[in-house]
Amino acid sequence: MGKNKIILPKPFFVLAPMDDVTDTVFRQVIAGCAPPDVFFTEFVNVDALQSAGRTATLPRLLHTPAEKPLIAQIWGKTPENYYKSAQDMVAMGFDGIDINMGCPVKDVVRNGCCSALINNRGLAAEIIQATKDGAGSLPISVKTRLGYHNIDYSWHEFLFEQNLNALSIHGRTRKQMSKVPANWEAIGEIVKLRDKISPTTKIIGNGDVSTRAQGMELAARYSLDGIMIGRGVFNNPFVFSSEDIWQTYSPRQRKDLYAKHVKLFAKTWKNNEKPLVVLNKFCKIYINGFDGAKELREKLMQTKTTNELLALL
Ligand SMILES: Cc1cc2nc3c(=O)[nH]c(=O)nc-3n(C[C@H](O)[C@H](O)[C@H](O)COP(=O)(O)O)c2cc1C
């Protein structure tokens, strides 16, 4: 991976990028529980970053040394803005840059971004080149899906011709959104293509992995370099551990872990960059699996300040 070599185990485990979830606060909590081998930021729009929207976008790029190695995930329309943003990522100390070519959300796709690029290879190639030109020696990867309407291996062939350091494949098409189980057989077919076209590109499989053991098994079965886990952290913040720690966590320990998250939130967003309601989506992760958890969640979600929330915890 060029000068910025990151030595990773095989398979390596990755915390998936999740918009409004995997910010610096949550990444720090996960790092304190059981860190993955690689972290990703939420997706960051390059066109906003290179415009008047820059100030509002910068909190997405905030990070601390605890969340390392950290890949900045970017998306957008204009190659020039990818170029400038890649330069920003170098200056901000990221360990790599990932381009989102998989997000299926309607507004994003209508605007020609993310999974729409599956059907616009000219622009996809320009975006990858512009990012490489701005990134110096940082590794470049793409995160994508199996295809747009149907599985389309010509898309992955095209990506392998772009000489990427890594490719993350979420095992569904754009059309499937998240409605059907991930197709790991198809991810295995993409590994075979990689072996023929671009043997040095690392492949990271993604979709529905809920335990480390399951990830190990899938990596072995399909010869994958890495496994990416997203929603699995919602059921187990220790999902990257090889030990079953979360099951043994007492109600007190679960509340303390949420308190840690809330304190980090208060410290990080002290200028009100994020409203308190953002915490509600995390509450269920921690306040779960014990008698009275539901009632406590309801009370916690009605609090108006972090101090009130912490007092209740
Ligand atoms: C709340 C949420 C936000 C997401 N945001 C992003 C994102 O910003 N960038 C991205 O590439 N994928 C995003 N995804 C997709 C995940 O990275 C991942 O591909 C998907 O959830 C499947 O993996 P999983 O079954 O392990 O969750 C998001 C998923 C969720 C649930």
- Nearest CA owner, ligand 1 atom 13: 18
Helix axis angle, 24-33 relative to 251-268, nearest 10°? 140
Residue 4 maps to a domain: no
User: Which atom of ligand 1 is least distant from the CA of 231?
Assistant: 27
Residue 171 backbone dihedrals phi, psi, to 5 degrees: -75, 50
Sole residue written with tokens 């300040």? 305
288 and 152 part of one domain = no
Residue 7 maps to a domain: no
Cα(283)–Cα(137) distance, integer angstroms: 39
User: Which atom of ligand 1 is least distant from the CA of 42?
Assistant: 8
Which tokens is 193 given?
């293509």
Domain's final residue, options 244, 270, 285? 244
- Nearest CA owner, ligand 1 atom 19: 170
**DSSP per-residue letters across 2-69:** -SS-----SSEEEEPP-TTTSSHHHHHHHHHH---SEEEEEEEEHHHHTSTTHHHHGGGG---TTS-S
- Average pLDDT, integer, range 97-120: 97
Q: Which of 18, 26, 107, 281 to mutate to test the pocket of ligand 1 (most atoms within 8 A of CB)?
A: 18
CA atoms within 13 A on the CB side of 217: 6
Q: Which of 14, 19, 167 to mutate to test the pocket of ligand 1 (most atoms within 8 A of CB)?
A: 19
pLDDT at 74 over 70: yes
Q: 202 - beta bridge partners?
A: 166
Give residue 282's pLDDT band: very low, low, confident or very high (50, 70, 90).
very high
Residue 3 maps to a domain: no
What global pTM score does this model have?
Answer: 0.97
Give me the domain span that covers residue 124.
Answer: 12-244
Q: Which residues are designated catalytic?
A: 103
Residue 209: closest CA among 224, 189, 191 = 224
- Nearest CA owner, ligand 1 atom 6: 18
Q: Is 205 helix (H, G, I), strand (E, B) or coil?
A: strand
**Contact by Cβ (8 Å): 287, 258:** yes
Residue 109 maps to a domain: yes
223 and 273 part of one domain = no
* Residues within a 6 A CB radius of ligand 1: 16-19, 21, 42-43, 73, 100, 102-103, 143, 170, 206-209, 229-232
CA of 41 to the centre of ligand 1 (A): 11
Give residue 6's pLDDT band: very low, low, confident or very high (50, 70, 90).
confident
258 and 149 part of one domain = no
Where residue 187 sits, what CATH number does that domain have? 3.20.20.70
Which tokens is 235 given?
């059921």
CB atoms within 10 A of CB 157: 15
- Nearest CA owner, ligand 1 atom 28: 18
Residue 42: closest CA among 175, 230, 215 = 230
Q: Quick: pLDDT tens for 222-255.
A: 999 999 999 999 999 999 999 999 999 999 999 9
Residue 2 maps to a domain: no
pLDDT at residue 1, rounded to an integer: 40
211 and 131 part of one domain = yes
42 and 140 part of one domain = yes
Give residue 179's pLDDT band: very low, low, confident or very high (50, 70, 90).
confident
- Nearest CA owner, ligand 1 atom 2: 18
Is 181 exposed, middle or buried (CB count within 10 Å of its CB: 0-12, 13-18, 19+)?
exposed
Domain's final residue, options 214, 244, 274? 244
Give residue 2's pLDDT band: very low, low, confident or very high (50, 70, 90).
very low
Residue 88: closest CA among 39, 22, 48, 134 = 134
Cα(8)–Cα(227) distance, integer angstroms: 12
133 and 98 part of one domain = yes
Residue 1 maps to a domain: no
Give residue 4's pLDDT band: very low, low, confident or very high (50, 70, 90).
low
36 and 175 part of one domain = yes
User: Which atom of ligand 1 is least distant from the CA of 21?
Assistant: 1
Domain's final residue, options 199, 218, 244? 244
CA atoms within 13 A on the CB side of 213: 3
Q: In sequence order, which ranges of 198-292 are alpha helices (DSSP H)?
A: 212-222, 232-235, 251-268, 280-286
pLDDT at 162 over 80: yes
178 and 49 part of one domain = yes
CA of 177 to the centre of ligand 1 (A): 11
Q: Quick: pLDDT tens for 291-313.
A: 999 999 999 999 999 999 999 99
Residue 240 maps to a domain: yes
Cα(119)–Cα(231) distance, integer angstroms: 27
Is 165 exposed, middle or buried (CB count within 10 Å of its CB: 0-12, 13-18, 19+)?
buried
97 and 181 part of one domain = yes
Give residue 192's pLDDT band: very low, low, confident or very high (50, 70, 90).
very high
- Average pLDDT, integer, range 26-49: 98
50 and 179 part of one domain = yes
CA of 228 to the centre of ligand 1 (A): 10
User: Which atom of ligand 1 is least distant from the CA of 98?
Assistant: 11
Give residue 178's pLDDT band: very low, low, confident or very high (50, 70, 90).
confident
Q: How far is CA 280 from CA 179, 289, 302, in A?
A: 24, 17, 9
CA of 305 to the centre of ligand 1 (A): 29
User: How many domains in the chain?
Assistant: 2
CA of 22 to the centre of ligand 1 (A): 10
User: Which atom of ligand 1 is least distant from the CA of 229?
Assistant: 26
pLDDT at 217 over 50: yes
Cα(11)–Cα(143) distance, integer angstroms: 17
CA of 212 to the centre of ligand 1 (A): 17
CA angle 61, 49, 89 (to 5 degrees): 50
CA of 207 to the centre of ligand 1 (A): 9
67 and 36 part of one domain = yes
**Percent of the chain surpassing pLDDT 90:** 96
Q: Quick: pLDDT tens for 194-205.
A: 999 999 999 999
- Average pLDDT, integer, range 146-171: 98
pLDDT at 3 over 90: no
Amino acid symbol at 52? A
175 and 305 part of one domain = no
Residue 212 maps to a domain: yes
**Contact by Cβ (8 Å): 116, 109:** yes
Cα(161)–Cα(260) distance, integer angstroms: 45
